[in-house]
Amino acid sequence: MDTVNESVARIEAIIGRKVKRDISQMTEWAKGNLARAAEAIMNMPNAHVGIVTGFYIQHAEPPSPETDGLGGMAHLAAGLANAGIPVTVITDAPCAKAVWAVVEALPAPVNLEVVSTTESSVLRLRQYMETGDRPITHLIAIERVSPGSDGKPHREHGWDMSRETAPLHLLFSDPAAKRRWYTIGMGDGGNEIGMGSLPKEIIESGIPNGEVIAATTPVDSLIVAGVSNWGAYGLLAAMACTKPALRDALLRYFNRDMDHRFLSAAVEAGQAVDDSRVDSPGRPQMSVDSIPWEQHAALLEEISAVVASHAR
């Protein structure tokens, strides 16, 4: 039987696999963060986990959030809620329909908060999160864009996303905030919330257009993955390794059928899009980061097998 550390390291290696870009410098730097993030949540009594997701693609047909991020949110939300840890999913108006559709597909209800695209709307939500009955203790961003060096959020080729993006990064790093939660960021491209933790030379040289798009929002634990969703798969599995008493509850819905259900809800009800390229718009389809659903399901099962072998 593996030690917890060995199992989590194996999971970290699986989710950090190269897809198209070489992200090895980033994953190398981030090694150990998956374990730290899992421990941070599992060791906190009365945790309440916020999950921020939704990456809006203006140049898709129709304009819509991309599929990546939504499935990761769903697995984390389903597992945590089933383990008795309350979850609040957070997004903005442009992504709200798709995120709601996926939340609707969850096996148990979780909270949903939707802000408009204004700063005041985000700051009002933050105040609520700080002062509600059960304040947020951990805040996770999955595939959520962060401002770059010019203070504006950008797509990977440089498009300014300000109009269609709420400044939800202010929940993670606003200097004026009395931030009261542990922050976790998951990304695969370099422009997502959390990537601001990377040393400047790695992030700017490691990604195309890095000088413009590289994220400036740091987090306490950065999880770099080949596909952002995989970071969420990995965190769920790492938590299950870290806390055996919650393992079965956390992983009850971590299977291919549920993954298919979540992606179907995102695509069919939410019109979530994928495979957006400069020369051809993204469209609603059963893929994530241009990888067909089946391959994500296989990776999910590979991660699941690591937890199972750890448990034996």
Q: Which residues bind its own copies (CB under 8 A)?
A: 62-64, 93-101, 104, 111-118, 121, 124, 128, 163-164, 268-269, 271
For the bound state, the minimum distance from the C-beta of residue 53 to its own copies, rounded and expressed in Å, comes to 13
Q: Looking at beta carbons only, is 114 or 224 nearer to its own copies?
A: 114
For the bound state, the minimum distance from the C-beta of residue 97 to its own copies, rounded and expressed in Å, comes to 4
Q: Looking at beta carbons only, is 103 or 251 nearer to its own copies?
A: 103
For the bound state, the minimum distance from the C-beta of residue 100 to its own copies, rounded and expressed in Å, comes to 4
For the bound state, the minimum distance from the C-beta of residue 113 to its own copies, rounded and expressed in Å, comes to 7
3-state secondary structure string across the chain? CCCHHHHHHHHHHHHCCCCCCCCHHHHHHHCCHHHHHHHHHHCCCCCCEEEEECCEECCECCCEEECCCHHHHHHHHHHHHHCCCCEEEEEEHHHHHHHHHHHHCCCCCCEEEEECCCHHHHHHHHHHHHHCCCCCCEEEEECCECECCCCCEECCCCCECHHHCCCCCHHHHCCCCCCCCEEEEEECCCCECEECCCCHHHHHHHCCCHHHHCCCCECCEEEECCCHHHHHHHHHHHHHHHCHHHHHHHHCCCCHHHHHHHHHHHHHHCCCEECCECCECEEECCEECCEEHHHHHHHHHHHHHHHHHHHC
Q: Looking at beta carbons only, is 108 or 128 nearer to its own copies?
A: 128
For the bound state, the minimum distance from the C-beta of residue 244 to its own copies, rounded and expressed in Å, comes to 34
Q: Looking at beta carbons only, is 112 or 308 nearer to its own copies?
A: 112
